[in-house]
Every structure is written in structure tokens, then in C-alpha cells.
Structure 1
């Protein structure tokens, strides 16, 4: 993807964070911009945020990941810092075809973080190691 599109996406998320913190609403112009930049997954991601499907998992060693409960009931561990999700849509649409910036799970993690709507969970360093290594997708 073009780096200028990534810059636009980052600025859009900053605008969303500022506006949502001031009004607790997402205005229509930002909804339209989200749809334009992120495509059809924007509405699906907002639905996941509305359902409170995103949990920010952190450990005493300051490691952090996001767990997103997908529509199918599967839990995906996403990393916003490196823009990665293990779901098939991310692999196909983002990595292989280069036609999307993010999948709905990763976008939901970014949106919920920007809007301050993440559930928070503290886990031990050992539990975080298991989550990060993929030995368990579910937070314990």
C-alpha cells in the first residue's frame, strides 16, 4: 500500500480519537471517511466495537496485544504496533492481494483503542507469553 494512504489512515484515526473524546459520537463525515479509506470492513469493525468484542491484554512487563472476538466466535490476537492479525482475511486481502490496509479485527482494535472502548485485562507475563506464542488465543 502507498505510504500516503497509511498517513491518511493514521490521521483519520487521530481525528476519530479527538472527536469521539469530545462528543462520544462518530459524525457522519468520519464514518464516510472510514468507509472510503478502509472499505467494507470499516462497518464490520465498527460493529465489533459496538459489541465490545475488543480486549486490550497487557502484562507487568508492558507487553500488549488486542484480542478480538470475531463474528464466527473465534478469538484473534492482533498487534496494532506492527499491523498484524492472524485471520484468513488479513492474509488474503492485506498480505497477498494488497487491496486492504487492515482486516476488520485489526481495524476494530485500532478503532476501539482510539475511542477508548477496549475492555482491559491484565495477565501475568507467563500468560502473555502463551498468548503471544499462539499457544492459546483465549486470555486466561
Structure 2
């Protein structure tokens, strides 16, 4: 999960954990209990909730011809949240409060689910036009 220079990165321990999980999946191995316990240790109950979102295939990667990519996560409440993995952002209230304001969490469950779905290759894929993606993002901004 290498990140380009100048782009915010996750703490090294999280990067390493996700990289190890991705390597295991590429080799055809299931995610180990050790990795699951590590997720639980680092993210607490958010890890279980994020894995549930992944299991329910709630994550969709939306891409446009210009290369823009956003993720939409259908939350457990039925509300859809927009996540930008490139800058570690989610539109949910938990991200704004627990991650940005209080700083007591690294990620919300939606953003963690995005990273886990990337590792596991379980993202739904949707290609849209650049205008459709812009309209979708503008709609989300007005809803907030």
C-alpha cells in the first residue's frame, strides 16, 4: 500500500498490517487469526463492524474516465457515506467527531472497510462519466 510523496499516510503499524494481509490474500491464504486480532487491537469494535461491512459487500469503488476515484459505503444504518481513500476521509459523523475532532480513532469503520475491501478484492466496481461523478459528489456535499 505504498503512497505517493506528499499524500497523508496511515501510521506505519496500520500500513504494515494491511500490507501483510494483502500479501497473504495474494498468496491465496485466508486472513489469519493473528491479523484479525491485530485489527481488533488497533481499531477496537470498529474492526468487527468494518469486517461486517466488507462481508455484506457494502463498498463500491466509483471511478471516472479522468481517473478520479471515490468509494461509497452503505453503512449499517442504511445511509451511504462517501470515502476518499487517497486522503483518508469519510463523510460520516463518527469520522468528523472521533477522528478529526477528538483524535481518539485512526479511522472510522467505513474507511477501514474501504481499506479491507481493497486488501480482499471485494469492492463492487462502478464506472461513471466525469459529470456523473461530479454530480454525485455535489449531491453528497449538499446533503451534509
Aligned with 2:114 (options 109, 114, 117): 109
Instruction: Name the count of aligned residue pairs.
Output: 134
2:57 — aligned with what? 52
Matched, 1:63 2:68: yes
Maintained 8 Å contact 2:58/2:75:
yes
Gaps of 5+ in 1: none
Q: Deviations over 1:12-32 (max 9, x none)?
A: 111111112223521100000
1:88 — aligned with what? 93
Aligned with 1:13 (options 14, 18, 21): 18
1:74 — aligned with what? 79
Maintained 8 Å contact 1:69/1:75:
yes
Maintained 8 Å contact 2:49/2:109:
yes
1: CA distance between counterparts of 2:140 and 2:37?
36
- Taking a change above 3 Å as real, the CA distance of residues 24 and 54 of structure 1, as seen in their structure-2 partners, is farther
1:39 — aligned with what? 44
1: CA distance between counterparts of 2:123 and 2:29?
14
**Offset, 1:113:** 0.7
Q: Deviations over 1:32-79 (max 9, x none)?
A: 011111221001000000000000110000000110000011111101
Alignment root-mean-square deviation, CA:
1.8
For normalisation by structure 1, the TM-score amounts to 0.90
